[in-house]
């Protein structure tokens, strides 16, 4: 009988009532508990608790009863506010993609050389993302004449939030979210569309008044991302109707577009000046910043984003600038909550995210008088720019001003770490295959940054150094003796056809002919392959650290969470992953835009580390504006690109050693193979659902791969014949098969 009672109790426990997912997270946070603490108490994994709080999974059995008891006790201590908005729910996804298995952490590394083990970790590990804000459902698209339910002119005027929309924010200073899309209807009524479906009535009749209202009444902004950092300034996105309402042009003239700003004599700029507001050196352009000098720790700054002036580049933001205000607010709000409030282009935002996570200074401990001072924040790049090593400096840098005019630096003078652009003719056997299948590494450059040790200070020049794979820097070394026909893969020596492989040491895949400058990950890979290296000189950084880890984690979590909202979860069988990826952008086009913007933030942020002159009358040998930034650091960029290329080559070698298959083309993070099937599963060696250890693995995590595209071998050979280029890089066109004369410089 007792067994029957136990079974009944278990049955009741399995249906213990639980509050909505958003309330679960609120209660945990209200008591100051972390996901890890809850997971430890319930004897589950942190990722499981994150799944319960996001609504993607539900607890069962005894865990559900214990979890329900915990939430009940917390609810007694922290009752929900009487005026709380409806609990948030997750975005609905097609039934095919429900029931995501619990996240796991599964290493794929099979024992590379010790010095390379840390380098491969980011590529070969399934990572469960930290909890992030749930994405709101697609917002309804009201006409421009829609008014808020309250006609009173106050920032609290609200519309009902659409179902599935989370609360705008928890910080009372920023309770209306990080940003607003400002629009005007045909009657001249100005409305601010915020995240969560909130609509504010805007009384301001000029740009200065709009800035003043934003800072005093709108309660917009975002808390800082790190302890020593600064809160994000509120962002206002001005629609075309709002531009007309405030006396701004809907589009810029050609002259204004080239200058990137309105002329100084424009009436709106005069209004701003008369009201004692200032503009940054960027002026009044697509991403304008209007501010007053800070008074102590108090900032007074508002950023404007003007989509019709091309603030939201269509290459990265798609058609976001053409969306209705509420939908645009939703998209930008998701990006802001998961990455940061946009600070400009995706490239600028990527760079600003590094600084936001690692501010250059922090407050010191109180001195004898109890006063704190600004001091260097350990682990940051500092507040002063640092010159690169001469070999790292791009052409035209002031360090190279004494070089003869038109001098071309070779590998022994210049560090040249770039992504792959390599292709070769198909072999006779490959010509008999039916298809060319491309696989693409997810967030490849972000994965390359994870766990990477980079320099944080000045380089030190060393003669005849002993190579240290843990010491970041640039090394002059001869790697021409590395023979890819016999290399170490893991702990074993393997025989390969080196004629079918690119060299890992040059972007074009050519074997080095003599000494050259290489970043630490490239030289470390030569050692990993089983060859001795003897550097002749080096520029090393003794002050170093894993500066990009937080940056990677933030972007990884944003990417994985948004893909999950689009129905592509982590840690599913490869067949399910490929099915989930098929047409994922159509499930929510708005969130698909967010995914594109996240990926562009990665690449653009790394590109900004070595930003080149942008006009302004610059001449070779003279400094340009970007050099004044501490984040202008070509060493960081070279290290990430080096490691990303090496990570890809390591997997290619592992795959070739196990299967005898070699890529026919590689472009950056995309590799193309000639196979008989149409899917990556037709050539990736999965056994009982498990991939080749150390090789390519299908999945959504950064460093794993997805299907890029499939074209026929006849298509590939036809394109090469058409352009009379037997080594035309087919990876460039594998996605949709479209090739134009412009693509080939014709």
Q: What is the residue extent of each domain of the chain?
A: 2-84, 172-338
Task: Tell me the pLDDT band of 6, cut-offs 50, 70 and 90.
Answer: low
DSSP 481: T
| CA nearest neighbour of 420 among 596, 610, 597, 672 | 672
Q: Mean pLDDT lowest for which of 52-61, 124-133, 241-250, 358-367?
A: 124-133
pLDDT digits (tens, 9 = 90+) for 207-218: 999 999 999 999
User: What's residue 239's pLDDT?
Assistant: 97
User: What's residue 296's pLDDT?
Assistant: 65
User: What's residue 583's pLDDT?
Assistant: 93
pLDDT digits (tens, 9 = 90+) for 454-490: 999 999 999 999 999 999 999 999 999 999 999 998 8
Three-state secondary structure call for residue 112: coil
Predicted confidence (pLDDT) at residue 120 exceeds the cutoff of 90: no
Total residues found in the chain within this entry:
746
Report the alpha-carbon distance of residue 169 to residue 156 in Å, rounded: 14
Within 13 A of 470's CA, how many CA atoms are on the CB side?
6
Q: What mean pLDDT comes out for the span 397-402?
A: 95
Within 13 A of 54's CA, how many CA atoms are on the CB side?
27
Q: What is the dihedral of CA 257, 263, 266, 268, to 10 degrees?
A: 70
Q: What is the dihedral of CA 317, 320, 322, 323, to 10 degrees?
A: 170
Sheet containing 473-478, strands listed edge to edge, beginning at the edge strand earlier in sequence: 460-463, 537-540, 473-478, 515-519
| CA nearest neighbour of 661 among 669, 671, 670 | 671
User: What's residue 744's pLDDT?
Assistant: 43
Predicted confidence (pLDDT) at residue 249 exceeds the cutoff of 90: yes
User: What's residue 63's pLDDT?
Assistant: 83
For the domain bounded by 2-84, which CATH number is listed? Answer: 1.10.260
Taking each helix axis from N to C end, the angle separating 520-528 and 114-121, rounded to the nearest 10 degrees, works out to: 120
pTM (predicted TM-score): 0.80
566 touches 584 (CB < 8 A): yes
647 touches 448 (CB < 8 A): yes
Q: What mean pLDDT comes out for the span 230-247?
A: 96
User: What's residue 104's pLDDT?
Assistant: 33
- Bin 188: left if φ > 0, else alpha if -120 < ψ < 50, else beta: left
Neighbour tally for 591: CB within 10 Å: 25
244 touches 184 (CB < 8 A): yes
Strand partners, 623: none
pLDDT digits (tens, 9 = 90+) for 523-573: 999 999 999 999 999 999 999 999 999 999 999 999 999 999 999 999 899
Q: Which two tokens stand for residue 170?
A: 């928890």
pLDDT digits (tens, 9 = 90+) for 379-396: 999 999 999 999 999 999
DSSP 125: B
Which stretches within 382-519 are classed as H helix? 428-431, 444-449
What is the share, in percent, of the chain residues with pLDDT greater than 90? Answer: 68
User: What's residue 570's pLDDT?
Assistant: 94
| CA nearest neighbour of 539 among 386, 391, 381 | 391
E-assigned strand segments in 9-48: none
Strand partners, 711: 436
Query: Strand 515-519 relative to strand 473-478: parallel, antiparallel, unpaired?
Result: antiparallel
Sequence-separated (6 or more) residues with CB below 8 Å from residue 718 = none
Q: Mean pLDDT lowest for which of 11-25, 82-96, 163-177, 295-309?
A: 82-96
The mean pLDDT value of the chain amounts to: 86
Predicted confidence (pLDDT) at residue 152 exceeds the cutoff of 90: no
Predicted confidence (pLDDT) at residue 163 exceeds the cutoff of 60: no
Q: Mean pLDDT lowest for which of 135-139, 342-346, 452-456, 480-484?
A: 135-139
Sequence-separated (6 or more) residues with CB below 8 Å from residue 296 = none
Q: Judge residue 96's burial from the number of C-beta atoms within 10 Å of its C-beta, 0-12 exposed, 13-18 middle, 19 or more buried.
A: exposed
Three-state secondary structure call for residue 524: helix
Three-state secondary structure call for residue 487: strand
Q: What is the residue-wise DSSP string for 437-464?
A: EEEEETTHHHHHHTT--EE-S--EEEES
User: What's residue 363's pLDDT?
Assistant: 87
pLDDT digits (tens, 9 = 90+) for 77-99: 778 765 544 444 333 333 333 33
Residue whose entry in the numeric block shows the structure tokens 């304008």 = 288
User: What's residue 295's pLDDT?
Assistant: 74
Instruction: Report phi then psi at 299, rounded to 5.
Output: -100, 145
520 touches 475 (CB < 8 A): yes
DSSP 624: -
Query: Strand 421-423 relative to strand 515-519: parallel, antiparallel, unpaired?
Result: unpaired
Q: Which two tokens stand for residue 447?
A: 């994965």
User: What's residue 2's pLDDT?
Assistant: 58
Predicted confidence (pLDDT) at residue 419 exceeds the cutoff of 70: yes
Burial annotation 478-493 (CB, 10 A radius, 16+ → b, else e):
bbeebebeebbbbeee
Within 13 A of 148's CA, how many CA atoms are on the CB side?
26
Which stretches within 260-380 are classed as H helix? 267-274, 314-317, 325-338, 346-357
Q: What mean pLDDT comes out for the span 244-261?
A: 94
423 touches 666 (CB < 8 A): yes
Task: Tell me the pLDDT band of 13, cut-offs 50, 70 and 90.
Answer: low
User: What's residue 45's pLDDT?
Assistant: 77
Task: Tell me the pLDDT band of 136, cut-offs 50, 70 and 90.
Answer: low
Residue whose entry in the numeric block shows the structure tokens 């935002």 = 349
Report the alpha-carbon distance of residue 336 to residue 235 in Å, rounded: 10
Report the alpha-carbon distance of residue 244 to residue 589 in Å, rounded: 28
User: What's residue 112's pLDDT?
Assistant: 39
Three-state secondary structure call for residue 402: coil
pLDDT digits (tens, 9 = 90+) for 644-686: 999 999 999 999 999 999 999 999 999 999 999 999 999 999 9
Report the alpha-carbon distance of residue 551 to residue 574 in Å, rounded: 28
Q: What is the residue-wise DSSP string for 684-727?
A: S--BTTBPPTTS--BSSSTTSEEEEEEEEHHHHHHHHHHTT-TT
Report the alpha-carbon distance of residue 318 to residue 594 in Å, rounded: 9
Within 13 A of 558's CA, how many CA atoms are on the CB side?
33
Max intra-chain CA distance, the chain: 96
User: What's residue 110's pLDDT?
Assistant: 35
User: What's residue 150's pLDDT?
Assistant: 32
Report the alpha-carbon distance of residue 87 to residue 134 in Å, rounded: 12
User: What's residue 81's pLDDT?
Assistant: 67
Integer Rg of the chain from CA: 28
220-223: Cβ within 8 A, 24+ apart: 220/174, 220/176, 220/177, 220/178, 220/179, 220/180, 220/194, 221/173, 221/174, 221/178, 221/341, 222/169, 222/174, 222/178, 222/336, 222/340, 222/341, 223/171, 223/174
User: What's residue 305's pLDDT?
Assistant: 98
Report the alpha-carbon distance of residue 74 to residue 77 in Å, rounded: 5
Q: What mean pLDDT comes out for the span 482-507?
A: 95
């Amino acid at each position: 009988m007792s067994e029957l009672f136990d079974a009944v109790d278990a049955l009741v426990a399995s249906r213990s009532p639980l509050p909505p997912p958003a309330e679960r997270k609120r209660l945990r946070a209200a008591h100051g508990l972390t996901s890890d603490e809850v997971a430890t108490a319930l004897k589950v994994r942190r990722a499981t608790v994150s799944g319960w709080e996001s609504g993607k999974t539900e607890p069962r059995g005894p865990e559900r009863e214990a979890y329900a008891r915990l939430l009940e006790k917390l609810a007694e201590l922290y009752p929900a506010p009487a005026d709380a908005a409806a609990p948030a729910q997750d975005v609905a996804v097609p039934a095919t993609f429900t029931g995501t298995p619990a996240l796991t952490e599964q290493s794929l590394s099979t024992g590379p050389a010790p010095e390379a083990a840390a380098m491969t970790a980011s590529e070969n590990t399934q990572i469960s993302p930290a909890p992030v804000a749930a994405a709101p459902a697609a917002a309804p698209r009201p006409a421009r004449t829609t008014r808020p339910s309250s006609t009173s002119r106050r920032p609290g005027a609200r519309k009902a939030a659409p179902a599935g929309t989370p609360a705008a924010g928890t910080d009372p200073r920023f309770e209306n979210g990080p940003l607003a899309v400002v629009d005007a209807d045909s009657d001249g009524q100005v409305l601010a569309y915020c995240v969560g479906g909130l609509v504010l009535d805007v009384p301001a009749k000029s740009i200065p008044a709009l800035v003043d209202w934003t800072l005093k009444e709108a309660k917009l902004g975002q808390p800082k991302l790190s302890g020593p950092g600064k809160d994000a300034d509120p962002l206002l996105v001005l629609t075309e109707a709002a531009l007309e309402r405030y006396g701004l042009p809907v589009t810029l003239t050609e002259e204004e577009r080239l200058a990137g700003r309105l002329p100084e004599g424009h009436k709106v700029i005069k209004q701003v000046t008369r009201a004692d507001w200032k503009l940054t050196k960027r002026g009044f352009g697509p991403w304008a910043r209007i501010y007053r000098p800070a008074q102590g720790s108090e900032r007074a700054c508002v950023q404007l984003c003007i989509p019709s002036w091309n603030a939201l580049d269509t290459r990265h933001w798609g058609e976001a600038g053409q969306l209705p205000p509420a939908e645009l607010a939703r998209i930008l709000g998701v990006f802001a909550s998961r990455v940061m409030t946009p600070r400009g282009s995706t490239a600028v935002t990527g760079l600003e995210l590094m600084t936001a996570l690692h501010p250059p200074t922090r407050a010191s401990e109180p001195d004898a008088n109890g006063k704190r001072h600004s001091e260097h924040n350990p682990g940051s790049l500092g507040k002063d720019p640092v010159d690169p090593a001469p070999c790292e400096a791009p052409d035209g840098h002031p360090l190279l001003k004494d070089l003869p005019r038109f001098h071309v630096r070779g590998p022994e003078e210049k560090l040249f770490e770039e992504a792959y652009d390599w292709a070769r003719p198909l072999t006779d056997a490959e010509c008999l295959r039916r298809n060319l299948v491309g696989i693409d590494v997810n967030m490849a450059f972000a994965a390359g940054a994870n766990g990477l040790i980079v320099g944080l200070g000045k380089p030190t020049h060393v003669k005849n150094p002993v190579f240290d794979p843990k010491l970041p820097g640039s090394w002059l070394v001869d790697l021409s003796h590395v023979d890819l026909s016999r290399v170490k893969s893991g702990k074993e020596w393997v025989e390969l056809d080196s004629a079918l492989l690119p060299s890992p040491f040059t972007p074009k895949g050519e074997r080095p002919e003599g000494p050259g400058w290489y970043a630490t990950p490239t030289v470390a890979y030569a050692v990993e392959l089983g060859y001795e290296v003897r550097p002749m000189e080096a520029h090393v950084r003794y002050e170093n650290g894993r500066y990009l880890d937080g940056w990677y984690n933030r972007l990884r979590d944003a990417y994985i969470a948004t893909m999950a909202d689009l129905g592509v979860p982590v840690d599913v069988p490869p067949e399910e992953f490929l099915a989930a990826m098929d047409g994922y952008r159509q499930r929510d086009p708005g969130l698909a835009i967010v995914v594109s913007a996240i990926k562009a933030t990665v690449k653009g942020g790394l590109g900004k580390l070595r930003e080149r002159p942008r006009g302004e009358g610059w001449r070779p040998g003279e400094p340009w504006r970007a050099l004044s930034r501490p984040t202008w650091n070509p060493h960081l960029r070279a290290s990430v690109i080096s490691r990303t290329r090496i990570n890809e080559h390591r997997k290619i070698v592992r795959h070739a050693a196990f299967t005898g298959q070699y890529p026919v083309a590689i472009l950056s993070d995309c590799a193309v193979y000639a196979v008989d099937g149409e899917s990556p599963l037709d050539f990736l060696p999965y056994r009982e659902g498990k991939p080749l250890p150390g090789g390519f693995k299908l999945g959504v995590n950064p460093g794993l791969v997805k299907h890029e595209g499939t074209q026929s071998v006849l298509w590939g050979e036809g394109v090469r014949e058409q352009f009379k280029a037997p080594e035309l890089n087919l990876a460039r066109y594998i996605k949709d098969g479209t090739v134009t004369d412009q693509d080939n410089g014709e």
